[in-house]
Structures are given as structure tokens and as C-alpha cells.
Structure 1
């Protein structure tokens, strides 16, 4: 089966699933894949470097599992360093990655945000092979329609290689931010059983992952212990210091908000929370960090 055609259909199929389900796709869906000419083509497999049987040499996708054994990470230049399979540079999977780089063949990257849930980025390219480090460097480019070759490459061509490199670096940086944001959201919502920590509201479409210490400040890391699952109303109120949380998990309402007179949303949505205890995850390792809450609470008090 023609390699470019398989990749074109894979890109199109992933785009359709993202449009239908959102950025984060379930593993079961990716394992099922799509059908082309009567053959089912999965998008990933048990190993991180995955080549379906219909392809001869070069993998279709690479995957980073959440909490997996590989230390795939973005380097100081903002590019993805993807680990080889095992320690043998000549393993067929690693040779396939090398060929993808040599032939500029696009792949799909699946980044696990929580077990069983993946965020997709495509097309990605292997731009540097580092056998001594057992890794390759990967960049993301803008999506495009990949058609079977007709006398030339189907990828976007630039008059200058420098322009292409700048575009790929920018796109990779954008994907990196999106990966971190979505991973943070999914991990926080999972820890809080997909409900608001203030009011227990459960409609996931209206839930956010709020930073306790903002990511613009020291200590504002995108970790579960620096996060709260909040509904849209309480996220906005928390960000604007209408609401605060003590290091002992007590919710407090700013005095002027308590004294204000308005309709039922103010009364039941905000004022009624004063003195209530924050709902926290059962696992101590997922509960809000008390030191981070103390930092945030001081900011809340300063806003009074």
C-alpha cells in the first residue's frame, strides 16, 4: 500500500476525530484506527514507535505514555527529544525513525496526558539523530494535505530553509504549550473526579484546572498539587480574588463581596461558600499543597 496515501488518510482521520471529540483522544479509538482498502490501520500499538503492517519501513506514529519509562522531553531549545526503543540504535524501530529523518517523512505524535488519553500533533519530523544519546530530535510543522507524490514533495516548500526552520520551531513551541495546558487540565480534573472543588458541580464542559500559584510566578508549576478543579464561575472568582482558600482548606469570601446585595447567583454561588471546607482528592499526593495555598492566600488578603 502506498506510504503517502496511508499517511494522508491517517492525518485526515485524526483531524476528523479531533474535530469530533476534542484535542484529547481515547486510546481505544486510536487502537481501532481506520479502514483503508478493506484493511484496518491502527494509529498506535504497545510500543512507542509504531509501524502498522501496511507500511514497510518507516513508522506512522510515535507515542509518549503518561508516566512511562521513556524520558521524552522538550530540550532547552524547545524541541522534543524522543527516546529510541531500548539501547540498540540498530533496532528496526530505531532504524525506521532514522529513515523518517533522512527522507523527511511526516509522522504523528501522541502525547499521553493521563492513562488512556492522548493529545495528537501532526505532522512531526525527525530533524536530528543522536545515536550516542539514544534519541532523536522531533519538530512539529503546520498541518497540510499529504497526497501521493506527483513529481515533488507534498509538504509545504519554502524558498529558504531558514523560514521553514523558524516556522517549525514556532509551531513546536505552540504545541508544547498546548500539551502542558491540556495535560495539566486532564490530570487535575481526574484527581478531583471531574467536579468543582468549591461547589461539586460536575459538568465537565464547564470545568477548568485553575493554578493555585499562577504559572507566571515562582512555584507556579503545572502540577496537580498546584491545581484546583473549578467550574467557570468559581475559577473566575478565584482568579479575581473574590474567593480565597486558607492553607487549612477553608474557603473565604472577600468581605466586600459578602456585604454586597444582589440576586441568587451572588447569594448561593459565592456568599454561601464562606467558611466551607474545600473538597479535596482522597489521595494525599493529589491534595493542594498547603505552602502554595499560603502564598495564594496572602495575595487574597492583600486584595481585601
Structure 2
């Protein structure tokens, strides 16, 4: 395929991905395997490998990163993602990714959330072929391709890179994992419309221990997320929902009554896996803030 035509096709794929990701947040393997673009079906994920190299394309279309896989994919330098060479495939898989690097072709990073569910991050770019360490360096943003030394950013570049990485990788991945753990419903009221749900931090991500782990997250509808952030709503370490005492005394229509006041004393809906349930020590710390505000 002509490189210009391929670039146009890749952009069309990204445009259609925008619609799919806006609607679903994440994508299943089946959706990625049968992705329709203007009446044509494209496979965006390989059957069995962590890299998708279509025969009729000059370069790699997607790479998959599995936190529990055998390859040491990781974030490095505050701005880059390391993608290890595939073992024994230098003439094939690595060659196609090398061509994507040489031709400056954008592609997709698929972050595995749970089996068969992925977060697409795109467009990303291979900006270095680190042969000494048997890896490619992947930039998560177009502007990061032009920095002089990606592994040694100046302070301004580093702040920008950290913000981009947080926006494009950490926040969507955190949301995806929390949504899956809570079965796409609000932990307070059980509303199950994905577009009305947020992944809320128990301990703010602005604090050093406000990590992007599922046990530091809650799936909350937008009204309960706002109420939680403002300490109108609290959650005890025993998973009980509490409402600010002053708010309980107010009279202000059905939204206040049914949306907040009637949640007082309700048991929180939590994930099935113990490892994904809200950490009680985190809830206890945050609950102290709620009690002070009350």
C-alpha cells in the first residue's frame, strides 16, 4: 500500500475509534477483531501475538501491552513507553515495527485491562529503535517526537510529558479497571449508565499515596462523585454511605431527597474480588475529612 494512502487509512481508523471509545470507554477483543471502517472490516488485534502487522500495510498497526505478560513493557523517562522486541522475530514482527518507525507511521497501543478487554491509546509513535536494550521507545503524543533527548527531558518537557501520560494513559486505564471491577455501576446508587459514571479516587491522585490502584477507586455516578469530593457524602471504612448532617436537614426537592438523603445508611456496592474492594485504611483516612466537614 502507498504510504500516503496508508496514512489516510490509519487516520480513518483512529476517527472511528474515537466514536467507539467515547461510547464504551474500552473495547473487547471481538470488537477489535471485527472493526468496521466505512463498510470495510479491519482486524486491530492479532489472533495470538501482541503485535498486529497487516500484510497489506507497510508497518505495525497495533501493539498490545499486558502488565502480566512475559515482555518487560514499561513506562520510562516520564514520557515514553518501552516495547520489547519480540523473541526470534527480527525478520517479521520487529521489522514491521521498525518500518513504522522509519516511515513515521502512527499506530495503536492496546493496554490490557482484564482478559479480552483493552484500552486503546492512539495515535502513538515509535521514536527510537534501542537495539542495545532490544526494545523500541514509543511516544504517547505527537509533540514528544521532537524533543532532543527523550530519555533526559528538561524541566518544561518533563512537566508536559507527565501531564500527557497521566491524561492519555493513567486516567483512562484507572477508569477502565474501576468500571470493570464495579460491573459498570455506581457503588452508591447502582446506576449503570457508563456515560454517567466516573472513576473517583478515594485518596486524591494529587497526594503521593493517591495511587491509581483499583482499591483506591470507586465507581460513582456524577452527582455522587461531586458530593463525595465536596464531603457532602462520605463512606465509612465499613462500607456504609453517610450524608452530611446539615444536608439531611435541608428541604430542596426530589433530587436532594432521593438522590442524596435516601442514600444515608445505605451499604456500598463493592467489587467481587477482595483485592479490588476499597482499601479500608484509605476509606478511614478520607472519612476523617468527611467528619470534619460535617
Fold match by TM threshold 0.5: yes
CA 1:3–1:118: 2 relative to 1, 3 Å: farther
CA 1:210–1:173: 2 relative to 1, 3 Å: closer
How far is the alpha carbon of 1:290 from its aligned partner? 0.4
1:98 aligned residue: 98
How far is the alpha carbon of 1:92 from its aligned partner? 2.5
How far is the alpha carbon of 1:291 from its aligned partner? 0.6
Which structure 2 segments of 5+ residues have no match?
A: none
How far is the alpha carbon of 1:12 from its aligned partner? 0.9
Classify the secondary structure of the residue corresponding to 1:294.
Answer: helix
Q: Distance in 1 between matches of 2:157 and 2:14?
A: 20
Q: What TM-score, normalized by structure 2, do the two folds share?
A: 0.83
2:32 aligned residue: 30
How far is the alpha carbon of 1:134 from its aligned partner? 2.3
Q: What TM-score, normalized by structure 1, do the two folds share?
A: 0.81
The structure with more radius of gyration: 1
Which of 51, 54, 57 pairs up with 2:53?
51
8 Å contact kept, 2:78–2:161: no
Q: Distance in 2 between matches of 1:230 and 1:94?
A: 42
8 Å contact kept, 1:114–1:186: no
Which of 276, 281, 285 pairs up with 1:295?
285
8 Å contact kept, 1:245–1:251: yes
Q: Distance in 1 between matches of 2:28 and 2:273?
A: 24
How far is the alpha carbon of 1:109 from its aligned partner? 2.6
Q: Distance in 2 between matches of 1:290 and 1:125?
A: 40
Q: Distance in 2 between matches of 1:17 and 1:125?
A: 17
Q: Distance in 2 between matches of 1:40 and 1:234?
A: 40
2:125 aligned residue: 125
8 Å contact kept, 2:140–2:168: no
How far is the alpha carbon of 1:265 from its aligned partner? 1.8
2:78 aligned residue: 77
CA 1:282–1:109: 2 relative to 1, 3 Å: closer
1:68 aligned residue: 69
8 Å contact kept, 1:142–1:171: no
Q: Distance in 1 between matches of 2:207 and 2:12?
A: 39
Which structure 1 segments of 5+ residues have no match?
A: 144-157
Q: How many pairs align?
A: 285
